Amino acid sequence: MPNLVQSSFTEFIIKEMPFLKDTFWHVLNFCKMYFIWLSLHYCVSVLYNYLCVPKTIIGFIIYPLSFHSPQCKILLWSFNLTSNSVNHFAATCVTWFLSNMSGGGHGDFKNNKT
C-alpha cells in the first residue's frame, strides 16, 4: 500500500507540477553556491582574526603598522566581498520565493488555469 501512495504522489508531481523538477535543481545549485560563499566568509574572518588582530599589548602598539600590510588589506577586502555576497544571496532567495508565491515566477503556485 505505501508504494501505491508514493507512486501516485510521484505521478501527480510529474503530471501536475513539472516545474518542480527544474526548480529543485535550481535551488540545489543555489544552495551549493551559498554554502561555498559562506565557507569562504568564515575562513577569511578566521584568518583575519589570526593574522591581523593584535593579541598582546606590543601587538596593539604595532597595530597601525600591521593593519596596512598587504595580507590584512586583502583579507579585509575578501571579508567585505563575501559578506556582501551572502547578503545578496539572502535577498535573492527572498525575492525568488515571493515572486513564485505571487505567481510572477516560473512556478505558478496559484494554479491559474484560464
Domain positions in the chain: 18-102
Contact yes or no for 63/54 (Cβ under 8 A): yes
- Return the C-alpha cell found at 79: 571579508
* Long-range CB contact pairs, 47-56, < 8 A, 24+: 47/75, 48/72, 48/75, 48/76, 48/79, 51/75, 52/76
**pTM of the complete model:** 0.65
- Return the C-alpha cell found at 28: 540545489
Give the C-alpha distances (Å, rounded to integers) separating 94 from 9, 20, 77, 83: 28, 18, 26, 17
pLDDT at residue 111, rounded to an integer: 52
pLDDT at residue 26, rounded to an integer: 75
pLDDT digits (tens, 9 = 90+) for 21-75: 667 777 788 888 889 999 999 999 999 999 888 889 998 888 888 888 899 999 9
H helices of 17-69, in order, are 19-52, 57-66
